[in-house]
Amino acid sequence: MNTFITNTAENLTDTDLVQRSLAGDRTALEQLIRRHQGFIYNLSLKLVLYPPDAEDVTQDVLIKVITHLSGFQGQSGFRTWLYRIVMNHFLDMKKRKAEDMTSLSRFANDGELLLAVNVTDEDGLSEEQIAETQVMCTVGMLMCLSREQRLVYVLGDVFSIDHNTASELLSTTPEAYRQKLSRARKDLYSFINQKCGLVNPANPCRCNKKTKLWIERGLVAKDTLLFKNQYTQTVREHVEANITKGALIVKNMVDELYTSHPMLNPKNTETLVEKILGNQELMRLLRLNEERKQ
């Protein structure tokens, strides 16, 4: 098995890292995982809501990527190949907690209760707690969409994946993809317009009121926050840094809610990487797949 010098792995292309990984270069494989786990995790958060579930999905996807790495032919970009694995896994995986309609009702049916909530300075609500509520609530409302609609909307309007790439992932035409995206937007905007006070001030929902209510219900913790605002980028900043200038979709108020979300790292990043790279059976499968390819 060949050994490569890997001290410049961070400067290599995805294709180079794949080739080195298949040749047994652990450092290249680690760099490949670290390079893409952030996107997979943040996409998963928008699809399943809860960080522990998103971490599980991220691990499952990365394991699929590694065990199928020899199948990457380089005919499309590695990211496109990766997106397809993410998409297929999400569409086929078992239902997660946030997808249960009884769970969704906690996010959507607080209107009458919120009318009676009175927030004062004595409640001591922090900006972090309110931001936690906003992220949980807006991602929770994505659950009103079907899985395919959710994926289409998140890829197209949140992460600004171009329509040609998205249609390729869905094995459809760009025009058919645009129609799917249009329907997803319409369904989501209609749902949010009936619930969210940020989008429609006529709705009784206010972020500070919902935060107080959810703290009382135990949905938002005072100290241990799932989406604590310790991050370096928002989704919008990440997208703008990774697509060509001028390619951004003109956002409306609903899209702004989602692109203002933080780009987060899994809390257990190191554990996740070590767990994957330390799985001897997984590494053996990677070698066997490459030997069969040869």
SS (H, E, C) the chain: CCCCCCCCHHHCCHHHHHHHHHCCCHHHHHHHHHHHHHHHHHHHHHHHCCHHHHHHHHHHHHHHHHHCHHHCCCCCCHHHHHHHHHHHHHHHCCCCHHHCHHHHHHHHCCHHHHHCCCCCHHHCCCHHHHHHHHHHHHHHHHHHCCHHHHHHHHHHHHCCCCHHHHHHHCCCCHHHHHHHHHHHHHHHHHHHHHHCCCCCCCCCCCHHHHHHHHHHHCCCCCCCCCCCCCCCEEHHHHHHHHCCCCCCCCCCHHHHHHHCCEECCCCCHHHHHHHHHCCHHHHHHHHHHHHHHC
CB 229 within 8 A of CB 131: yes
Are both 85 and 220 inside the same structural domain?
Answer: no
- Does any domain span residue 1? no
Are both 52 and 62 inside the same structural domain?
Answer: yes
**212-221, 256-265, 284-293: which range is least confident on average?**
284-293
Whole-number average pLDDT of the chain: 79
pLDDT confidence of 267, banded at 50, 70, 90?
Answer: low
Find residue 262's DSSP bridge partners. Answer: 234
Q: What is the pLDDT of residues 63-88, one digit of tens each?
A: 899 888 988 887 778 888 888 888 89
Are both 38 and 104 inside the same structural domain?
Answer: no
- Does any domain span residue 3? no
CA–CA gap between residue 227 and residue 236 (Å, rounded): 17
pLDDT for the residue numbered 105: 57
Are both 93 and 110 inside the same structural domain?
Answer: no
The number of distinct structural domains making up the chain is 2
pLDDT at 161 over 80: yes
Q: What is the pLDDT of residues 201-248, one digit of tens each?
A: 888 888 899 999 888 888 888 777 777 655 556 776 766 655 443 344
pLDDT for the residue numbered 180: 94
- Does any domain span residue 116? yes
- Does any domain span residue 6? no
Are both 60 and 133 inside the same structural domain?
Answer: no
Are both 194 and 108 inside the same structural domain?
Answer: yes
pLDDT for the residue numbered 177: 92
Mean pLDDT, range 154-181, rounded to an integer: 88
- Does any domain span residue 126? yes
For position 90, which CATH number holds?
A: 1.10.1740.10
Mean pLDDT, range 146-161, rounded to an integer: 88
Q: What is the pLDDT of residues 123-133, one digit of tens each?
A: 889 888 888 88
Are both 48 and 75 inside the same structural domain?
Answer: yes
Are both 66 and 22 inside the same structural domain?
Answer: yes
Are both 141 and 212 inside the same structural domain?
Answer: yes
Q: In terms of residue numbers, what domain contains 231?
A: 100-263
pLDDT confidence of 173, banded at 50, 70, 90?
Answer: very high
pLDDT for the residue numbered 8: 47
pLDDT at 288 over 60: no
- Stated pTM of the model: 0.77
- Does any domain span residue 2? no
Mean pLDDT, range 41-47, rounded to an integer: 87
Are both 178 and 55 inside the same structural domain?
Answer: no
Are both 176 and 252 inside the same structural domain?
Answer: yes
Are both 270 and 235 inside the same structural domain?
Answer: no
**35-44, 135-144, 191-200, 270-279: which range is least confident on average?**
270-279
CB 192 within 8 A of CB 141: yes
Q: Which of 94-108, 164-178, 252-266, 273-287 has the highest mean pLDDT?
A: 164-178
CA–CA gap between residue 45 and residue 149 (Å, rounded): 15
- Does any domain span residue 5? no
- Does any domain span residue 185? yes
